[in-house]
């Protein structure tokens, strides 16, 4: 089968090559990939940014989102059968959706929402699960609370705004000048043009911040949170708790303790809780997200679609950080 893969970490683009069809374990589902999407995570993996916590071997097939059709199932699989239309974010240790076929653990899969097509479905798993695990699982957002979401026009931001509004919260976000009205249409109550305004001088007394940007924005976010508020980052720095959850070696746990010590100390001084969330695969949570999609509460947001042959170009495009929503690669 054909797949897009890298042979080493670095900034060089990968290549499309022939690889063996994946083996299907007892609890695996073999999926013919119809569409996948590109995430910033893919570029960070390819450059080696996560090699300490995600030690992949080469050649490595990239890709963290899929929508497709089940072709076969393992002997212990109960929820899926050949012909089912499914979507998923595969478990982090078995990524590889930039390919014609992928074997995915049954518990990471969900049936594709019936009211959207394959490309729309492929845009959702990673960003929707990230938004869910930050806002529902970690922050436990309640109706009437105030949440600030960095980068509202990005892949995670567009989904997080919709989910936060569904949960009954007041939502503020940032974007560039050209996207202000577009992001407001997603449901944000306050949209700050980061090219003209500083969010930290406008916002105050927020309950939750979802950070997806760098260290400067992370620290400034502390100033807008009320005492008892939550600063939740998906871009780091990782915490000792994360190292424990990932069962990482004690040396890496120590490194993460040191990397996050500054922001954790500053958060404690303000009586703010700092947490790092690294999204995990979950078919059960995708089932809940599917219900929101089929009821029209959450809608996919797609920027551009590339053919499989232009996967390297799609990765380059997402790396520029200018996409509005998700970038899709059409496989079938």
Average per-residue pLDDT for the chain: 96
Summarised one tens digit per residue, pLDDT across range 237-250 is 999 999 998 888 99
Q: 140 and 110 in one domain?
A: no
Would strands 326-330 and 302-307 be described as parallel, antiparallel, or unpaired?
A: parallel
Q: Is residue 325 part of a domain?
A: yes
Any idea what the CATH number is for the domain that residue 205 is in?
A: 3.40.50.720
Overall pTM > 0.95: yes
Q: 199 and 59 in one domain?
A: no
Range of the domain at 173: 126-276
**What token pair was written down for 311?**
């996967």
Q: 116 and 36 in one domain?
A: yes
pLDDT at residue 50, as a whole number = 87
Where are the strands (E) in the chain, listed by range?
A: 2-6, 15-18, 28-38, 60-61, 66-73, 85-88, 101-105, 109-111, 146-149, 170-175, 190-193, 206-211, 225-233, 273-276, 302-307, 326-330
pLDDT at residue 11, as a whole number = 86
Q: 207 and 99 in one domain?
A: no
pLDDT at residue 258, as a whole number = 96
Q: 152 and 90 in one domain?
A: no
Q: 269 and 133 in one domain?
A: yes
Q: Is residue 235 part of a domain?
A: yes
Q: Is residue 98 part of a domain?
A: yes
> Which secondary structure element, helix H or strand E, spans residue 253, and what is its range?
helix 250-269
pLDDT at residue 321, as a whole number = 82
Q: 247 and 144 in one domain?
A: yes
Query: Position of tokens 């989904």?
Result: 159
Q: If you ran DSSP here, which 8-state letter would residue 99 be given?
A: B
pLDDT at residue 138, as a whole number = 98
Q: 132 and 210 in one domain?
A: yes
pLDDT at residue 46, as a whole number = 95
Any idea what the CATH number is for the domain that residue 80 is in?
A: 3.90.180.10
pLDDT at residue 12, as a whole number = 85
Contacts of 268 (CB under 8 A, 6+ apart): none
Q: 14 and 113 in one domain?
A: yes
Q: Is residue 290 part of a domain?
A: no
pLDDT at residue 52, as a whole number = 83
pLDDT at residue 322, as a whole number = 82
CA distances from 14 to 18, 69, 168, 236, 321 (A): 13, 26, 43, 26, 19
pLDDT at residue 292, as a whole number = 98
Per the structure, the count of domains in the chain is 2
Sign of the C-alpha dihedral computed for residues 12, 13, 17 and 21 taken in this order: positive
Q: 89 and 70 in one domain?
A: yes
Q: Is residue 139 part of a domain?
A: yes
Q: Is residue 209 part of a domain?
A: yes
Q: Is residue 109 part of a domain?
A: yes
pLDDT at residue 73, as a whole number = 98
Segments of the chain with pLDDT less than 70 = none
Q: Is residue 69 part of a domain?
A: yes
Q: 173 and 63 in one domain?
A: no
Q: 155 and 270 in one domain?
A: yes
pLDDT at residue 129, as a whole number = 98
């Amino acid at each position: 089968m054909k797949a897009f893969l890298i042979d080493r970490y670095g900034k060089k683009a990968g290549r499309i090559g022939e690889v063996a069809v994946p083996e299907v374990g007892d609890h695996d589902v073999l999926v013919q990939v119809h569409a996948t999407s590109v995430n910033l995570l893919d570029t960070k993996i390819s450059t080696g940014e996560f090699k300490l916590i995600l030690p992949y071997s080469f050649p490595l097939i990239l890709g963290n989102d899929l929508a497709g059709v089940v072709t076969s199932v393992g002997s212990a699989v109960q929820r899926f059968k050949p012909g089912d239309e499914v979507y998923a974010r595969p478990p982090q240790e078995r990524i590889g959706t930039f390919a014609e076929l992928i074997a995915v653990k049954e518990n990471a899969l969900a049936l594709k929402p019936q009211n959207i097509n394959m490309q729309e479905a492929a845009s959702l798993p990673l960003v929707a699960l990230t938004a869910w695990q930050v806002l529902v699982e970690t922050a436990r957002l309640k109706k009437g609370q105030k949440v600030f979401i960095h980068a509202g026009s990005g892949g995670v931001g567009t989904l997080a705004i919709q989910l936060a509004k569904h949960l009954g919260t007041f939502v503020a976000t940032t974007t560039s000048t050209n996207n202000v009205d577009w992001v407001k249409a997603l449901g944000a109550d306050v949209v700050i043009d980061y090219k003209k305004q500083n969010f930290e001088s406008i916002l105050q007394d927020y309950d939750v911040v979802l950070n997806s940007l760098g260290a400067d924005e992370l620290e400034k976010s502390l100033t807008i949170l009320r005492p008892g508020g939550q600063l939740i980052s998906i871009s780091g720095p990782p915490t000792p708790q994360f190292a424990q959850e990932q069962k990482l070696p004690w040396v890496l746990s120590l490194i993460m303790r040191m990397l996050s010590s500054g922001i954790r100390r500053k958060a404690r001084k303000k009586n703010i809780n700092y947490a790092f969330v690294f999204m995990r695969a979950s078919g059960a949570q995708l089932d809940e997200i599917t219900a929101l999609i089929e009821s029209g509460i959450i809608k996919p947001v797609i920027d551009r679609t590339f053919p499989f042959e232009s996967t390297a170009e799609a990765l380059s495009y997402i790396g520029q950080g200018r996409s509005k929503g998700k970038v899709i690669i059409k496989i079938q």
